[in-house]
Structure 1
Amino acid sequence: MAKRFGKPSINWAELDKRVPPDQKPNFLVFKAKSESYWRRVNASPPEPPKIDWEAYKKTVPIPDLVDKFKTAYEGFKVPMPTDTMSAKVDEQWKSLEPQIKAFCAEQQKYIDQATKDLAAVNALPKFEEMTMEIYYDMYPETRFDPVRKPTFWPHIAEEQPGYKPPATPAAAPKAAPKK
């Protein structure tokens, strides 16, 4: 007896979300072919129709030919492949689980930091409501203070008196091109 499945195991809605927009036509063609195959399989009966061997014995003139066909038909078994890969896949999955958990834990740290940063941004007053005094109180290291630290136009560090460029390591001399 053939094994019947109640419904397809493919979650088409979830798969549709993962398909890139440029591949949608190919996805729809694949889905249509899959569903037509599914309908054809479900349209056929789960077991092949019974053969009336007695009616064939009456009409076939060669004796024992129908008996040979009957024994061959009943003795035929569809070869089903043996599952040799599931154990290997399970073993590989078990070996990868610690790496996956370590990766997820590492990514969770980034998610937690991003959540904290987002909470800090969301805690700020709206741009329209923020005044210079609020900004001075929140960010004293970057505020503009014309009394204690005057700056001159264009108010960038490189254009201010006494500016010293940050120390950079000396670049290695370039080799002369070979002739």
Structure 2
Amino acid sequence: AFKSMSDKYLRSVMANPEAPPKLDWAYYQKNVPIAGMVDKFQKAYEALQVPYPVDNVTAQVEAQEKQVRDEIAKFCKESEGRIADYQSQIAALKALLPFDQMTMEDYRDAYPDQALDPINRPTFWPHTPEEQEVGAPNAEPHH
């Protein structure tokens, strides 16, 4: 909605000439009966200067645009690093033996922190993380 209103305003401004039309002061001096009135209007008209607003925002916008461009470039560089990291992770996963062809020893070699290790890290049935916590809330005391 704002864009259409802005475009409409721009079209109406662009339809007008850049400079105001020239007035035929001789015609008015012949046809206006009051002496000196046309000369007074002519002096006032020629002395009229419409002030053009000073642009004090463009520098701020350009600085903000430069800052955003720098942030975008930094983000793109960081993203390229993440992409390279993810591609190396994908390559490592593709290099693994498929799970349906793995043995327990292959799984332990591929994922030592997740594999069942009954000697170094024994667990209790049902082997879920909640049941392995010390002092689990639903654990019954053994007497």
TM-score range, shorter chain: 0.5 to 0.7
Q: Quick one: structure 1 residues 158 and 38, their matched pair in 2 at CA, closer, same or farther if it must change by over 3 Å? A: closer
Shift of residue 68, structure 1, vs aligned partner: 0.8
Q: For residue 118 of structure 1, what is the aligned residue in structure 2?
A: 86
How many Å separate the matches in 2 of 1:72 and 1:42?
27
Q: 1:38 aligned to 10, 35, 45, which one?
A: 10
Gaps of 5+ in 1: 1-28, 166-179
The within-5 A match list for 1:102-141 is 111=79, 114-115=82-83, 117-123=85-91, 124-125=93-94, 129-131=98-100, 132-133=102-103, 135-141=107-113
Q: 1:76 aligned to 33, 44, 48, which one?
A: 48
Q: 2:128 aligned to 148, 156, 161, which one?
A: 156
How many Å separate the matches in 2 of 1:144 and 1:66?
104
How many Å separate the matches in 2 of 1:138 and 1:125?
12
Shift of residue 70, structure 1, vs aligned partner: 0.6
Q: Quick one: structure 1 residues 137 and 120, their matched pair in 2 at CA, closer, same or farther if it must change by over 3 Å? A: farther
Shift of residue 85, structure 1, vs aligned partner: 6.7
Q: Quick one: structure 1 residues 108 and 138, their matched pair in 2 at CA, closer, same or farther if it must change by over 3 Å? A: farther
Shift of residue 44, structure 1, vs aligned partner: 0.6
Moved more, 56-65 or 115-124: 115-124
How many Å separate the matches in 2 of 1:120 and 1:66?
85
Shift of residue 125, structure 1, vs aligned partner: 2.6
Q: Size of the alignment, in residue pairs? A: 124
Q: Give TM-score, length-normalised by structure 2.
A: 0.61
Q: Quick one: structure 1 residues 54 and 152, their matched pair in 2 at CA, closer, same or farther if it must change by over 3 Å? A: same
Q: Specify which structure has the bigger relative contact order, considering alpha-carbon pairs within 8 angstroms and separated by 6 or more residues.
A: 1
For 1:114, give the aligned amino acid: R
Q: Quick one: structure 1 residues 86 and 150, their matched pair in 2 at CA, closer, same or farther if it must change by over 3 Å? A: closer
Instruction: State the secondary structure of the residue aligned to 1:74.
Output: helix
1:52 paired with 2:24, answer yes
Moved more, 150-159 or 39-48: 150-159
Gaps of 5+ in 2: 136-143
Shift of residue 43, structure 1, vs aligned partner: 0.6
Q: CA RMSD in A?
A: 4.0
Shift of residue 130, structure 1, vs aligned partner: 3.2
Q: Give TM-score, length-normalised by structure 1.
A: 0.51
**More helix per residue: 1 or 2?**
2
Q: Which structure has the greater CA radius of gyration?
A: 2
